[in-house]
Chains A and B, each alone.
Chain A
Amino acid sequence: MYNHRNPLPPLARAGHIAHVKHALASLPGSQVNLDASRMAIVFYCVGSLDLLGVLQDETTEIDRTSWRRWIWEQYAGGRYGTGFKPGPFMTKTSVHSDQESPHLIMTYTALLSLSILRDDFSRLNRPGVLTFVRACQNPNGSFSSMPNNGGDSDLRNLYCAFCICSLLGDWSCIDVERAIAFVASCRTYEGGYGQLPSCEAHGGTTYLALASLRLAPPGPRARLTPAERARSENWLVHNQDASGGFRGRTGKASDTCYCFWGGAALQILGAEDKLDAYAFAQFIAACQFPFGGIAKAPGQGPDPYHTYLSLAAVAMYAPRLEASARRYGQWEFTPFDPLLNARVETVRWAREHIPARRF
């Protein structure tokens, strides 16, 4: 049995910095399955450095300039608007515009990564991005990752579309109410949301659903009834298990990524006081890999995805840690925005620089 009142072990900041810097420099061939989502990996790595507050100290202006340049190299446009691709894996080859298409999730992660790197977004074709987002919406309100029902469609894509509209400050390109109806159709009797209508409640998609409802402009009525809100809150707090970590589904084992999804969902509901922040941090501390990076569970291997989401999870709950934990200065973070999934300061930069200038 865990004893959550034990002192919190140190957060091995230097090891986590080394882990993500190493991934930015190169990934082994065994991780070739990340080829079509490199932009997301870049976001987890650059985002980790941002959360740890070391971007200025641990990287040079030359690094950051060249990283921004790489991200902009993935900027693509075509018949269906402009956005970002995951990487160059299919670049500069196609007569088929579909093969050059931007990707919704990658566009969201690229916009956040560029904000972290304090890009001025002077190159961003805003109407082009809105055209692209519009082209990804399906008749049932959901979004596909690529235009015209291309790629898979589920709540991940809908959330990214909402983030992009929110960052651009323009919702006119999509049918918001239809999208909200799609989100509602993913709700289950447990109080969480599934990836698609009729799917099992899942921590990741519940975060995406609740964040999307909050990001959306106000509608004709409240997005959640008090009873629905209470049920969701209840399901979410029950996902924290005795280890202090969060599981993604009823009856499964805890995983650091669900610490983020579940913890952030509770923040969005304004229920951040209702979980045991100390036990939560204990679980994440136990998932630190001895040589840097954070794994999904104790004793497993680390990766940038779990490293970033673990750091983001503790960043949200650090202010709620007991004084004995603060003694370890490593467990302190600057404010975090659970809706867009970035540091508040980074979100401020994004909101100042991404929308079209109004004259």
Chain B
Amino acid sequence: MIPAPPPILYAARAEWADIVPVEQYEKANPLAPILYSAEYKDATDYLRAVVKAGEQSARVLQLTEHVIRLNPAHYSAWQYRYETIVALQSPLDVELALMDELADKYLKTYQVWHHRRLLLTLQPTPAAAAAELVFVAKILREDEKNYHTWAHRQWVLAFFNDDALWAGELDFVDAMMNRDVRNNSVWHHRFFVVFHSGVREGEEDRERVVRRELIYVKQNLSLAPNNASAWNYLRGVLEHSRLPFATVAAFVTAYTVPHLADAADLVDVENPPPGPGAELPCAAAVEFLADVYEEAGGESTDKAVQLWKSLADEHDTIRKKYWEYRIREAMSK
């Protein structure tokens, strides 16, 4: 393969001859200096020059794109690019198409997402928002737990707050959950959609919604009991709905003991039992049941203490100190 030719520096391009490059100003003894490539040094020399001159033109868009590709965390290049787009009234769809490529490449850079947000805010149309959700879904399929990408999706939903956008969100959650039932970002997103985004059409009957969510999380736990995300979700739903943990005591208990030999063939939708391959007892269930006993107080406290002891000594030894603390706290009440 023939290597790509080195880029022609701005200093050697006739169309940039009118610009006097501005070198980085740094006195002797720079701290943590970066050994810039010739290409980066040249491009930023010209960026400093156009910013100094206040030039906002098509070639500035080309130059800022170049700098951003070399260093996507160069927030001044991003900022100047944004100001130039606004000044030139550049078509936003062209910019967003470019951003689709850059966001994909530099997923973990704050600036790519910040810039997208600014663009969407400039022309907030329902069509743009819908397209944005499609784009985010595509990116999440490549990197299912990327924090910035999820944050962006939540921002789009909350900012546009359009019923049509919300309508497909639980289906999206299900699709992501099917890919990885242990993806906490998906569980968090479900909580956000169901409980923190306001009440939407078809979701007015909150009691029914809570019942639906409890069944959803229980069925998930029955398929994969050792899933901290699902246990946290179960707690979250109960606490948010001000229901006592004891509401699900019957369900949880089956997960705190070894497999029952006579596991019932009966299908109990409210209390799905752990699946045949499950590793039991499940530490999160033991903790949950201890909380139920602690909540009950009185004589039940002893049962909680026994469960915490089993966590400290056997099922969850890394948190021994924490369980011992819980025991001390409960005993002193």
Contacts and interface: CB of A to CB of B under 8 A. Distances in A.
Given A29-B35, A36-B74, A95 B25 contact: no
Contacts of B227: 251
A199 B151 contact: yes
B22 A93 contact: yes
B318 A94 contact: no
B318 A251 contact: no
Contacts of A276: 318-321
Given A28-B35, A237-B322, A188 B188 contact: yes
Contacts of B36: 29, 32
A42 B30 CA distance: 11
Contacts of B109: 33
A199 B150 contact: yes
Q: Which of A151, A190, A242 has the most CB of B within 10 A?
A: A190
Contacts of B184: 200, 249-252
A276 B323 CA distance: 11
A96 B321 contact: no
B111 interface: yes
Interface stretch (A67-75, A215-223, A284-292): A67-75
Interface stretch (B65-73, B243-251, B302-310): B65-73
Q: Which of B52, B188, B229 has the most CB of A within 10 A?
A: B188
B91 interface: no
A89 B321 contact: no
B33 interface: yes
Q: Which of B37, B73, B322 has the most CB of A within 10 A?
A: B322
Interface string B146-157: 010011001100
B228 A251 contact: yes
Nearest to B118: A149
A279 interface: yes
Interface in A61-107: 66-67, 69-71, 73, 88-96, 98-99
A201 interface: yes
A275 B321 contact: yes
Contact of B71 (A35, A70, A240, A244): A35
B32 A36 contact: no
Contact of A274 (B34, B73, B325): B325
A152 B322 CA distance: 37
15 contacts: A26-B33, A27-B34, A29-B36, A35-B71, A36-B75, A37-B73, A38-B31, A89-B24, A90-B48, A92-B25, A190-B232, A198-B154, A198-B155, A198-B192, A275-B321
Q: Which 9 A-B pairs have the closest CB atoms?
A: A189-B236, A200-B188, A250-B184, A66-B29, A93-B48, A93-B52, A92-B25, A70-B31, A198-B154
Interface of A: 23-24, 26-29, 31-38, 41-42, 45, 66-67, 69-71, 73, 88-96, 98-99, 145, 150-152, 188-190, 194-202, 235, 237-238, 240-242, 244, 249-252, 273-276, 279
